[in-house]
Structure 1
Amino acid sequence: MRNLIILLLLISMPLLAQSKIDSLLPVRGFSIAAPQAGHVDKFIGFVEKELVPLQINTLILRVDYNYAYQSHPELRDKETLSNEDVKRLVAMGKKHSINIVPQINLLGHQSWAEDLENLLKVYPEFDETPHIPMMDKYEWPNEHGLYCKSYCPLHPDVHKVVFALVDELMEAFEASAFHAGLDEVFYIGDDNCPRCSGHDKAVLYANEVTKIRNHLALKNRQLWMWGDRLIDGKTTGIGMWEASMNNTHRAIDLIPKDVFICDWHYERPDKTAVYFAMKGFKVATCSWRKPEVSMVQVEDMLKFRAESTPAMRDNFQGNILTVWSGAESFIDSYYKSDDNEQRQMLEMFGAL
């Protein structure tokens, strides 16, 4: 089936190739962890050898604490990218007209498996659920429903810290857009939180998104975010991972329309990009490890743009391939086999 889908798509491409690729898919993106210190040359080489020829024009880099922050050096990873390292990435982006969108996970994803991320490790008072312990050996499911910790969006000091990091990173990358993550937020409005208890979870979530958006807008920067918490997981049947089961989905009607939505679906090519576009948002569909899903998503996006009204067409922005491993391990595996799934998915853009 996968080969059939690939064949059908490639057969259709010569008909599409007469148009400019930017008109077909304005955003042709790749999302990956930022390279580690000492591996910037390797990463730049990969981008120039593999991504540039495939006309990738957007690079989401998950930086988090992998940068030598001056505003809060206590939050740095042990080894970090220097400002000089980042400027080399910036120069690469400018040279090849690649829009680099740096990312720090905000609100959710403040822990992973058995480990707290740096923010809650250094500032435990920001924890939305301090009463829920981290596990010595992580398992899912568990009695506390612990996937990833969140910071408390109503803590009076949390934004002073995270916005300082955001501002510094945006200056370093000379970026016009920032990705705040905001996905898979299972802990919000916890009953035991002295600030959030009793609050409407949708309003809490919407207010946090809006606060981040407004801060970025002060310097004409755009907020990008994952879209899963804005989808009703129960009504759609999509469930708790790629959609919300804790009532944050109503926030879609409460946040500014200039937020860019990265709509990820990894197991099925769900058509929720249409939902976001009809709500007035610009949206890109995101895939991961299944070429057959990614192929359908690209075909869908081409159809949505071709068959929409002029008012809707530009809301369908394109497609983004996500990678959930370190940059170095991904690059190594990318060259091990010609049958690499990410290689197949990236080549979709080259076929346009």
Structure 2
Amino acid sequence: MNTRYHITALLVLFACHLAVGQSELAVRGFCIAAPSPERLNDFVRFIDEELAPRGINTLVLRVDHNYAFESRPELRGDNPLSQREVKQLVAICRKHHIRIIPQINLLGHQSWAGQVGKLLEVYPQFDETPHVQMPEAYAWPNPDGLYCKSYCPLHPDVHEVVFDLVDEICEVFEADAFHAGMDEVFYIGHDSCARCAGHDKAELFANEVNKISSHLAQHDRQLWIWGDRLIDGKTTGIGMWEASMNNTHRAVDLIGKDVMVCDWHYDQPVQTAVYFAMKGFSVVTCPWRKGEVATAQLQDMIRFKQYATDEMAPRYQGMMQTVWRGAGAFLDEFYSEEPASEESEVTCFKALFPLQ
């Protein structure tokens, strides 16, 4: 057998091993922004012709305010999906037995760059840091430590508003789970907040997670969140983006174990899925645009599950590809005749979930 043939055979065997391992994972997920009404048909086609044949069984749609809310019409985005359009997404996912999970960013990510988000635009009293003005030209780092604004979790009226959105979006999507985001929360327990100043940041974060989870549980719905705020960025060396440097990490011991943790790491296959599983959580590993990182993470997830105890094995739930741009831009690259770049969400997705 010549060397080239030997290498090819090994690659085929490796791909088969991954395929067998993937089949044992409960979650084969895809996370992306909900499509605009203009790209809805394209996205339905993508679900039908690409997600389903690749074995995707979970679709997290970042809806945020891009739905024509009836309960809070003042919080509709500029080009929202209608109920009829959402039902098209529900129908195509039901056809392929894909679990659809809507997302609205809660707590953090209430602004982006120089623009405040819809919630704080309409209800500025919910702002955790009203003294921080949105810049005309955003830059990082900046003197205010502004990445994204947060709402104040102790404001007496904030949950009445956001839970109206949560309930409505879950109902229209016929969802049994909801993704609350809650990643990259830098503003929490801020010294300038009359309600939060002096409070333990880990307790504030945990109480918000538990409050949302308890609300969802009233309708037998599960809470999903990103996991970065639950990791100690200093001790692990992971840093302030994929982990916490503002002491929220201790919340990992304060929140309910029924929460699904979406553990994202994009540049290295950091093995924090084991940490979450040992803490009692179900965990999904989430790559972004590096195919070699995603396949390493997949190997890890399969191995973790294979060699885990009977108690821990079910906690290793699977993998979820993340896409951090609009659905239209992703579809344009996916269906382009030009090959996708080596480091792109499209390339990563195809490496992680090849056609079956």
Q: TM-score, normalised by structure 2?
A: 0.94
Residue 170 of structure 1 is matched in structure 2 by 170
**1:225 and 1:262 in contact (8 A); partners too:** yes
Corresponding position: 1:130 with 2:130: yes
The amino acid of 1:14's aligned partner reads C
**Deviates most, 40-49 or 133-142:** 40-49
- The equivalent position to 1:349 in structure 2, one of 343, 347, 353, is 353
Rounded to whole Å, the distance in 2 between the matches of 1:7 and 1:244 is 43
Kept in 2: contact 1:34–1:63 (CA 8 A): yes
Q: Distance in 1 between matches of 2:248 and 2:345?
A: 32
SS of match in other structure, 1:101: strand
How many angstroms apart in 2 are the aligned matches of 1:160 and 1:6? 58
Judged with a 3 Å threshold, the aligned counterparts in structure 2 of structure 1 residues 324 and 17 are, in CA distance, closer, same or farther, namely: closer
Question: Which amino acid in 1 is paired with 2:173?
Answer: F
Aligned pairs for 1:26-45 within 5 A: 26-45=26-45
Matches for 1:103-122 after TM superposition, within 5 Å: 103-122=103-122
The answer as to whether partners of 1:66 and 1:79 remain within 8 angstroms in 2 is yes
Is 1:221 aligned with 2:225?
no
Looking at structure 2, the residues matched to 6 and 293 of structure 1 have their Cα atoms a distance apart, in angstroms, of 21
Whole-Å Cα distance in 2 between the matches of residues 209 and 321 of structure 1? Answer: 23
Residue segments in structure 2 that go unaligned for 5+ positions in a row: 1-6
Counterpart of 2:157 in structure 1 is 157
Matched residue, 2:4: none
Q: Distance in 2 between matches of 1:257 and 1:307?
A: 22
Distance change in 2, residues 1:8/1:140 (3 Å): farther
State the match for 1:100 in structure 2: 100
The residue number in structure 2 matching 1:319 is: 319
**Residue 188 in structure 1 maps to residue 192 in structure 2:** no
Is the contact between residue 13 and residue 351 of structure 1 (CA under 8 Å) also seen in structure 2?
no
- Cα contact 1:178–1:223 (8 A) shared by 2: yes
What is the CA distance between 1:315 and its match in structure 2?
Answer: 0.4
Amino acid at match of 1:342: E
Specify the code of the residue in structure 2 equivalent to 1:12. F
Q: For residues 344 and 78 of structure 1, do their structure 2 counterparts lie closer, same or farther at Cα, with a shift above 3 Å needed?
A: closer
Residue 12 of structure 1 is matched in structure 2 by 14
Query: Following TM superposition, by how much is the alpha carbon of 1:12 offset from its aligned partner in structure 2, in angstroms?
Result: 1.7
Match of 1:281 in 2: 281
Could you say which residue in structure 1 is the equivalent of 2:253? 253
Contact map agreement 1:32 1:325 (CA 8 A) in 2: yes
Residue equivalent to 1:209:
209
1:121 offset after TM fit, Å? 0.3
Contact 2:18 2:299 in 1 (8 A): no
Which amino acid counterpart does residue 264 of structure 2 have in structure 1? W
1:304 corresponds in structure 2 to 304
Q: Which runs of 4+ in 1 moved over 6 A?
A: 5-9
With over 3 angstroms needed to count, the CA separation of the structure-2 counterparts of 1:168 and 1:18, relative to structure 1, is closer
CA–CA distance in structure 2, aligned partners of residues 153 and 164 of structure 1: 16
What is the alpha-carbon distance in structure 1 between the residues aligned to residue 280 and residue 59 of structure 2?
Answer: 24
- Equivalent residue, structure 2, for 1:240: 240
Q: Give me the CA root mean square deviation.
A: 1.7
- Structure 2 equivalent of residue 75 of structure 1: 75
**How many angstroms apart in 2 are the aligned matches of 1:40 and 1:166?**
22
Q: Name the CA distance, whole Å, in 2 between partners of 1:89 and 1:79.
A: 17
SS of residue in 2 equivalent to 1:263: strand
Moved more, 228-237 or 6-15: 6-15
Structure 1: gaps of 5 or more residues: none
Superposed CA deviations along residues 135-191 of structure 1, whole A, max 9, x for unmatched, are 000000000000000000000000000000000000000000000000000000001
How much has 1:334 moved relative to structure 2? Answer: 1.3
Q: Compute the TM-score of the two structures, normalised by the length of structure 1.
A: 0.95
Q: Which residue of 2 aligns with 1:263?
A: 263
* 1:64-85 CA-partner distances (Å, limit 9, x unpaired): 0000000110110111100000
Structure 1 pair 8–75 and aligned structure 2 pair: CA distance change class (3 A): farther
Contact 1:6 1:292 in 2 (8 A): no
- Pairwise CA distance, 1:345: 2.8
| Residues 6, 120 of structure 1: alpha-carbon distance in 2 compared, 3 angstrom cutoff | farther
How many pairs does the alignment contain? 346
Q: Report the alpha carbon displacement of residue 11 of structure 1 after superposing the two structures with TM.
A: 3.0
CA distance in 2, matches of 1:9, 1:156: 58
Contact 1:29–1:321 (CA<8 Å) still a contact in 2? yes
Q: What amino acid maps onto 2:149 in structure 1?
A: K
Q: Contact 1:10 / 1:351 at 8 angstroms: preserved in 2?
A: no
Q: Could you tell me how far 1:295 is from its partner in structure 2? A: 1.0
Deviations 1:184-208 (A, max 9, x none): 0000000110000000000000000
Residue pair 2:333, 2:346 contacting (<8 A) in 1 also: no
Q: Give the letter for the 1:214 counterpart.
A: S
Q: CA 1:59/1:9 → structure 2, altered by over 3 Å: closer, same or farther?
A: farther
